[in-house]
Amino acid sequence: MKFADEFRDRDKARTLVREIETLADQIETTKTRPLQLMEVCGGHTHSIFRYGLEGMLPSSIELVHGPGCPVCVLPMGRVDDCVAIAERPGVIFTTFGDAMRVPGSKKSLMQAKADGADVRMVYSPMDALALARKHPDREVVFFGLGFETTMPSTALTVLQAEADGIENFSVFCNHITIVPTIKAILDSPDLHLDGFLGPGHVSMVIGAAPYAFIAEFYKRPMVIAGFEPLDILQSIWMLLKQIREGRAEIENQYTRIVPEAGNHPALAAVAEVYELREFFEWRGLGSIDHSGVKVRDQYARFDAERKFAIPNVKIADPKSCQCGEVLKGVLKPWQCKVFGTLCTPETPLGALMVSPEGACSAYYQYGGIKRSNTPEKEAVVS
């Protein structure tokens, strides 16, 4: 296939759905309960609802929406830290656009900007570095955020800043890692999963090997999936085929993008600049060991956490917000008490409603769900 519309062919999609239905009927588990398959990546969640894929699947398959949205798992206290840095005199605080509206305990970065802080949206950390060159009398801070997908670009920017001798640039590092996250989900006592749709963008960097523990120790299959409708349907078919045959392997459907061994230059840059934190706090999931990275001592002068005093206080989410349960797949977004009423894209109470990759945002935009806080699904995508 060469063009995007080839990955959206209706006839091929119908054929795949029929094959999925046939496989599902042959799996003994579906006689007593639906198979639960988690798509880890928020990009998959949006594709599933944008193209109505969930409504095409048989009732014997339930898709569970995972925590693969880095903006959504950012704890409220870290947003407060961002605001504290941004509001310092002489600071230009730069960030990706989807982090601008994530609520802190008092305000978001967007609100801090409205109050006078110099907060600027950028498209890459290199844009932030260019601002540092342009404004040598100002401190420019880049909000480093994301899984392994975005780690390399931030790391390479730090290396470039060092090579150029730029001293007024730093990174507020909130990069997180996917493998400990999946392990924490598998260890969760209130969630039983039969398989995973593996994240495509993260895997483009790290490859397939880091997921081996899922199959070897937890005996669950995973298929690394692309983001087009036929990608996702084929990946579900591949998962069901493994389950029917009693296999648990890591397979790669997204071979046109994801190399089995990962991207070596990207991994080298990450290893050069970062080291694992002992633990990192996740919104809704709590503290997860070795699930985040920090800037190595060698590059401490580019570490905003060391350059600036920040509150670094843990802030609990509002009690009415159930982002944690949604992130773990225990609740569907429409089962949250404030979904579509107190919490909307215009007035987000939780981070899952802010980010384009958030599950609540996907349901609200594409899900065909009645905007009500009644915890019952009113409609199904078709």
Residues 278-336: pLDDT tens digits? 988 887 777 889 999 999 999 999 999 999 988 877 777 667 778 777 876 778 888 88
pLDDT at 270 over 60: yes
**360: helix, strand or coil:** helix
Please identify, among 307, 333, 353, the residue that sits at the C-terminal boundary of a domain.
307
Give a yes or no: residue 169 inside a domain: yes
Structure confidence at residue 25 as a pLDDT band (50, 70, 90): very high
Cβ atoms 274, 173 nearer than 8 A = yes
**pLDDT tens per residue, range 237-249:** 999 999 999 999 9
Q: What's the alpha-carbon Rg for the chain, to the nearest Å?
A: 21
Judge whether 191 lies within some domain: yes
CA distance 108 to 87: 12
Query: Which SS3 state, helix, strand or coil, does residue 200 take?
Result: helix
At residue 374, the pLDDT reads 40
Q: Given this model, what pLDDT does residue 378 score?
A: 36
Collect all residues with Cβ–Cβ distance below 8 Å to 216 and sequence separation of at least 6.
none
- Categorize the per-residue pLDDT at 349 as very low, low, confident or very high, splitting at 50, 70 and 90: confident
Q: Are residues 97 and 143 in the same domain?
A: yes
Q: Are 83 and 112 in contact (CB under 8 A)?
A: yes
Question: Same domain for 92 and 217?
Answer: no
Q: What is the rounded CA–CA span in Å between residue 91 and residue 117?
A: 8
Give the confidence band of 376 by pLDDT, cuts at 50, 70, 90: very low
Do 133 and 157 have their domain in common?
Answer: yes
Question: Is residue 105 located within the same domain as residue 165?
Answer: yes
Average pLDDT over every residue of 135-139 = 98
- Residue 367, pLDDT above cutoff 70: no
For residue 321, being part of any structural domain is answered with no
179 confidence band (pLDDT: 50, 70, 90): very high
**Amino acid type, 219:** K
Q: Is residue 20 part of a domain?
A: yes
Question: Of 287 and 31, which is predicted with more confidence?
Answer: 31
Name which residue leads in pLDDT, 36 or 335. Answer: 36
Q: Are residues 184 and 62 in the same domain?
A: yes
Please state, rounded to an integer, the average pLDDT across all residues of the chain.
89
106/242 same-domain check:
no
Judge whether 49 lies within some domain.
yes
More confident residue, 104 or 20: 20
- Out of 307, 334, 350, a domain closes at 307
Determine what percent of the chain is predicted with pLDDT higher than 90. Answer: 64
Q: Among 130, 121, 163, 147, which residue's Cα sits nearest to residue 274?
A: 147
Cα dihedral 48/337/61/50 (nearest 10): -10
Q: What is the pTM of this model?
A: 0.87
For residues 223-246, average pLDDT: 97
Residues 88 and 216 in one domain: no
Question: Comparing 76 with 295, which gets the higher pLDDT?
Answer: 295
Looking at per-residue pLDDT, the higher value among 282 and 194 belongs to 194
DSSP helix/strand/coil, 27? coil
Residue 65 parent element (H or E): strand 61-68
Q: Tell me, what CATH number does 141's domain have?
A: 3.40.50.11740
- Which of 263, 281, 307 delimits the end of a domain? 307
Rounded Cα–Cα distance for residues 113 and 108 (Å): 9
Q: What is the pLDDT of residue 333?
A: 83
- Alpha-carbon distance 104 to 175, whole Å? 18
Domain assignment present for residue 371? The answer is no
Question: 188 lies in a domain?
Answer: yes
**Are residue 43 and residue 80 in the same domain, yes or no?**
no
Residue 9 lies in a domain: yes
CATH of the domain at 44: 3.40.50.11750
Handedness of CA 148, 221, 334, 55 (dihedral sign): positive
The count of domains in the chain is 2
Asked if 147 and 88 sit in the same domain, the reply is: yes
- Mean per-residue pLDDT for 344-358? 75
Mean pLDDT in residue range 242-259: 96
pLDDT score, position 1:
62
| 80 and 141 co-located in one domain | yes
Range of the domain at 230: 4-69+180-252
172 and 190 co-located in one domain = no
**Alpha carbon 96 to chain centroid distance?**
14
Residues 209 and 241 in one domain: yes
